[in-house]
């Protein structure tokens, strides 16, 4: 089974960025843990700070992979383009967020991804990704 985790803007700074909200582990460290815990999944990872690159990646893998775990970060709340891309591909997308976006500022309560996501996992720290992966097994 081929699954990709796609992380959006500023998530390359995990570990250093607002650790009280996002924790002190880098995503690269956590990715190794995920690979060890899900040995039967061919797990890929892509991160970009650029909206169009995320859209192009969704087009590239969205017709062949078995699943996409998408944390579009701030673009979740602003990007009609990423929302449309999710709607355009047959591969199921699970939307994840590290923090509980509903307990934060009201602009984080809106998501352009949710209407076309297969499911949504929010607020479990980095383990949001683990829970999303489990849903594919």
Residue 87, number of CB atoms within 10 A of its CB: 13
Partners of 4 in the β-ladder = 44, 68
Name, in order, each residue with C-beta under 8 angstroms of 43's C-beta and a sequence gap of 6 or more: 3, 4, 5, 31, 34, 35, 133
Provide the mask over 27-66, with x wherever binding to ligand DQA is found by CB under 6 A and - wherever it is not.
----------------------------------------
Q: Is residue 120 a contact residue for ligand DQA (CB under 6 A)?
A: no
Tokens of 105: 């500022």
- Selecting among 30, 44, 59, 97, the annotated active-site residue is 97
Q: Is residue 10 a contact residue for ligand DQA (CB under 6 A)?
A: yes
Note the residues at the interface with ligand DQA (CB under 6 A): 10, 71, 73-74, 76, 97-99, 101, 108
Q: Which residues carry out catalysis?
A: 22, 97
């Amino acid at each position: 089974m081929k699954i990709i985790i796609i992380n959006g803007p500023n998530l390359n700074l995990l570990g250093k960025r607002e650790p009280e909200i996002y924790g002190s582990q880098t995503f690269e460290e956590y990715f190794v843990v995920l690979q060890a815990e899900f040995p039967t999944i061919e797990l890929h990872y892509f991160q970009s700070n650029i909206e169009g690159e995320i859209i192009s990646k969704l087009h590239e893998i969205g017709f062949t992979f078995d699943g996409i775990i998408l944390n579009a970060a701030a673009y979740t709340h602003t990007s009609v383009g990423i929302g449309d891309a999710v709607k355009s591909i047959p591969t199921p997308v699970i939307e994840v967020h590290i923090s509980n976006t509903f307990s934060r500022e009201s602009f984080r309560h809106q998501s352009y991804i949710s209407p076309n996501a297969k499911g949504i996992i929010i607020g479990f720290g980095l383990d949001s990704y683990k829970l999303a992966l489990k849903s594919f097994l």
